[in-house]
Structure formats: structure tokens, C-alpha cells
Copies of this chain bind each other. A is one copy, B any other.
Amino acid sequence: MKKKITLKHIAKELDVSISTVSKALKNSEEIGRDTKEKIQAIAKLYNYRPNNIAISLKNKRTKNIGVIIPDIVHHFFTTVFRGIEKYANEKGYNVIVCVSDESFDKEVINMEMLANGSIDGFIMALSAETQMKNDFNHLKEVTEQGIPLVLFDRITDDVICDKVIINDEEAAYNAVKKLIESGKKRIALFTTENYLGVSSKRADGYFRALKDHKLETDENLVLELPFQFEKEDKSEAFFERYSFDAVLCVNEIFAIRAMRTAQRMGIKIPQELAIIGFTDGILSKLSSPSLTAVAQHGNRMGEIAAQMLIEKVESDQERESFRTEIIEATIIERESTIH
């Protein structure tokens, strides 16, 4: 086993000092021509690479970014991560991922693990539990320590930092508008239990669109579904009890489940029921019929988040200015709506 070699090894081998080796490898003018060449040759021979950890300690810069997300299996978060990783890598940064699993405690633990020097900054989306508890002290502590933080998608106004979101309210509005313009009159909303910021914004857009188009809003047409997969009893009963000709779903899974339930009950899509879901993932593309979806452009979101973070990390000036970048969601029309 080849041991990892250090400046010290090279120095000893050539009987020069460590500083000379260090300078020679940086091609410093200070070092004589042939000494430099000898040192560089040996370094190459041994395939010398400086130790990242030592450099991190010296520079107080790790070139690592910490990403904390509620879930990695969800397509949206995956695409955001992809965007982050791509941009970060181009800039020479590595990405450390922690999954909070929608748990407040895990989120806190993960942040603490990383906040002690392991990373230069955080990119994160809040866990559901954190949003419920409304407790953001772990975030505040981190920002107070001067560690840059970028929140995306699941954000909060209580923490002052850079943010990236989509225009949820408007996107929902436009989706509903599109349904109305295609002739639909009774439009349902399938949403999560309401602590998630994004869901409530989407609901706002939904209601505003109905009002603007003089359609009555019926609280009965709003179905709150649990996070986890379950028997689809609840939604089946909902289909039986209420009549509606279109549905907006706050995520892809809900949309697919709505579609399956409708199909099982012999409802024709999109003629009898049009469906639009948030998140334009593989499910939407590959279901049959394929799903019209609100694309959140996770990749771009991730790239922008990474860009904002790295900008902050690399600027030594401490002017505290924060911005919120809003990404325009776009509707991808497919077979589940009439157009």
C-alpha cells in the first residue's frame, strides 16, 4: 500500500525544506530553476496531491456545500439537487447531502453536524415538521455565525437569507384559469394538510382564479390528503360524494392517484375529468394518459440556489444584502387536459 505522501516526504527525499517544496510546486519565482525542476519531477513521480483537509484548515474554507432536504426520493428535490450538484461541481465545490426525512430533530442534528467547519454554506428546504413547529432557531444560529444560507421552495419569512422559490400562487392561478378556459366549471383541489407554505399559496391561487372567473368556490371541493401512501378510500369516497369536472393537485403523486381512482371508477380523462398536477416529473411524462403538469424547473432552482450561495461564500465583503429569486413555473400540457 502506497502511503499518502506529503510535502515533508518530498522535502526529506531531496534534502530541502518543506517551504522550498511548497513554493517550488506553486512555481514560485523565489526558487531556483533546477531545484524547482527536481522537486516538480519527484512530486509528479509520486503523484503528489496536497491534502484538502490541511488546506481547509489553513484557509478556513472547505469547498463543501451542505444540502439538507426533506426527502431524496421525491422527484422535485432530486432535480433541485441535480442542479446544485452540477453548478457546485463546476465551481470546484463538493456537496454534502443530509436528508431530514421531514423531521425537525433530524434537521437540527444535521445542521449541527455540518455547521462546525464541515461546510462553507447551506442550501435547504424546510422539513414539514419544522414548518409546523415554526421554530427556526437552528437556522438563525447558523446565519448569526456568518454561515451563508439559501432556502429554496419550502421557505419561511422568519429567517433573513437568500431564497429561491417559484411563483406558486400565480402558477396555481394559471393552471386553474386554463382549466376554466377549456370549459370546466367545477374544479376541485387536492392538497396536503395545510402547514406547508407552498400548498397554501397554491390554494390561494386556486381560489383567486375561481373568484376572478366568477365561479363559486365550494369548500367541499377541497380535499386534504395525508403525506403517506394509503388506501385510496378517502379519495374514492370524495369522488362519489361530490361532482366536479377538473382537479388541481398540489403534487404529482396526488395527481396520479386521482387519475387512477378516476380510471377505476370509469371516469374518462380528460373529457369527464381534467387533471393538472404540480411537479413535472417522470410520473407525469410516462403515465397514461400523460399528465398536464406545472413544471417547477427544479434544475434551474438548484443552479440558482448554488450560484447565490457560492457568491456569498466567496465574497469577503460583509454587506448584508439578501434577495429572493422567483422562478416562473410553466404549464406543460399533456393528455390529461383539453387544449
Contact = CB atoms under 8 A, between A and B. Distances in A.
Given A253-B286, A286-B256, A144 B2 contact: yes
For the complex of A and B, the 6 pairs showing the least CB-CB separation, nearest first, are: A52-B117, A53-B117, A51-B117, A49-B116, A1-B146, A256-B286
A259 interface: yes
Interface in A94-128: 94-99, 110, 112-118
Task: Say how many copies of this protein the assembly contains.
Answer: 2
A83 B93 CA distance: 24
A73 B79 contact: yes
Given A98-B94, A146-B1, A116 B259 contact: no
Interface in A44-100: 47, 49-54, 56-57, 62, 64, 72-73, 75, 78-79, 81-82, 85-86, 89, 92, 94-99
A260 interface: yes
Contact of A283 (B72, B73, B286): B286
Interface of A: 1-4, 47, 49-54, 56-57, 62, 64, 72-73, 75, 78-79, 81-82, 85-86, 89, 92, 94-99, 110, 112-118, 141, 144-146, 253, 256-257, 259-260, 263, 282-283, 286-288, 318
Contacts of A263: 288
A85 B81 CA distance: 15
A282 to B, nearest CB: 6
Contacts of A117: 4, 51-54
Contacts of A286: 253, 256-257, 260, 283, 287
A254 B53 CA distance: 44
A132 to B, nearest CB: 22
Contact of A96 (B47, B49, B96): B96
A72 B64 contact: no
B75 A73 contact: yes
